[in-house]
Structure 1
Amino acid sequence: MTSNTIMTTILGGFLGSGKTTVLNQLLNDLNPQLRTAVIINDFGEVNIDSLLIEKGGYSKKEISGGCICCSLKAKLLDTLLQIVNEEKPDEIYIEATGLAVPWEMKQTIEKNFPSDLIRVKDVLVCMDARQCDRYHDRLPAYSRQFEGRPLVLITKADIYSLDVLEQTRVKLQKHYPGLTGFAESRSGCWKKPGTPGIPVTSPAASTGLFLFHPEMIDTGKDGIESLSLMGPLTGTVADLHQLIDENRPKVIRLKALIPFNKTVLSLQFDGSTISEQKAPENLDIKGQTVLNMFCMKEDMENLKEKISRLISLD
């Protein structure tokens, strides 16, 4: 490895686990002496996650309409090659989609780039304890994100009891003996284990490898579908809230950007909680509402019909 090696961080985690919040914090803490490039992947044709990343002293590239660990793998490699040749950064941050397998992305990069050119130094998997309880034993698309040796970043740790956090760590330690360790994020802020004053929380000895339970829905990614819509909001924000509330068991993840009182409102649903906040200024959504939604395949037709009543596609 030479001094010109590009140090790369991969940020993964399930739909609604808090990846974009964590990435914003990482980018706010950048070393101003380093040249930084950011790659943001989103399933939607309009990359909402990229729009929500705050502007700063770094370059940003978007990959939309699929997942860079599988269907858009070649696009990831092409984008990395472009960044290496044209920008020559010191570091790269890659935010994956909520259905990616981050360790597979690491292996893809290592197979296609020499280690003295690009080195993946960290693979972070954001994990919401509430989602782990809900999806881990049901969805292979959820559990596969822990493959390999990632560092698990427990997000939203400030809203859960210490008992819940410990139970979640114990569960993951049991199933995934290769994990690098655990860290906790509170309001998007965290410090990597091993930094001064931050102890390393390492997984305990495992009792065995993870096996799917017989009752698991063996769908993989193909059982979770995404819907992307862009058009005028014909209903109200309250109507959208009501639609989510009435369909909570079906909606896995929903995020929307909505023009509202000369600003843009960011509405997020992580499978449990609806939140709203003002989006970064100067977003170019052309006065349209942009919405990305994820659900199981069997629920898509019904949910699409309901959402289409609120967002005009004409």
Structure 2
Amino acid sequence: MKVWHASLLVPAVAALLASCAPRLGAAVQVPQITVEQTALERLDPPGLGIPASATVSLKLRVRNPNPFGVRLSRVDGDFYLDGLKVTQVSAPGVDIAATGVSTVTVNVQVPLSNQNLGKFADLAVGKTVAYRLEGSFEVDAGALGKPTFGPYTLAQGVIKDAPILKAPEFRFRPELAKLTFGNDGIVLELGLEVHNPNVLGFRLEAPLELRVGGVAVAKASLSGTVGAKNAGVVYTRFQIDPLALPQALIQGRFSFSVAGSPVLIAPGITEKRFGLEVLTQGSAERR
């Protein structure tokens, strides 16, 4: 989710702010801050059993109009979505050469609440959401002082691109597999590692089928939760009719594939279903 924006700092505002600075600081022209790029980096909604939070990245571009180098030593402000204040912003310091430009990226952590969840839900499903960054900043100009400018609107714009939900990646973990033979048939227990490439955390549900030689021999299901851009392990258990795998009874091992139709559920935000496909494959052996 990437959006490019223009600065709102007009010369009249710059002149007014400069006139309010300390005497030495008045010789310092106001650096211009723009938000070049915004992105919803991650969103873990409530109901996943992990802290509900969102991360928004702001790429700030700072232009120094002065004929000498300065350091933007502090940027403090408030970040708004559709007029609702969702968090405070503190940017790290950055050095800017004379008449030069520097960039700094700020990752803003936002604990989700009943008040702001709807705004992030709108972002996740592709609705246009207006943002505004209100704040002030301090400039370290050496012998010319450390004037502070603001508070005022540093930048504003809209975010309107929804993240595309991709299917998670499943990996067979051999050390988590257990194959047993008993009176109730053949039982295969699996631990599957699930990698979530999305900025959205979800609850995962999937009907599964176990295939041996391309033929379905058992069915099961799995469920679990995986945070945004994270990984986790989910477990499932197949009970197999011995008559379906006579060779397994003789040899004590077999190769298989697991097919399924994953359903990703972000509570209160969205849900996406994927078609039946092979998720992973491996082999099991009686220990």
TM-score normalised per structure 1 = 0.22
More helix by share: 1
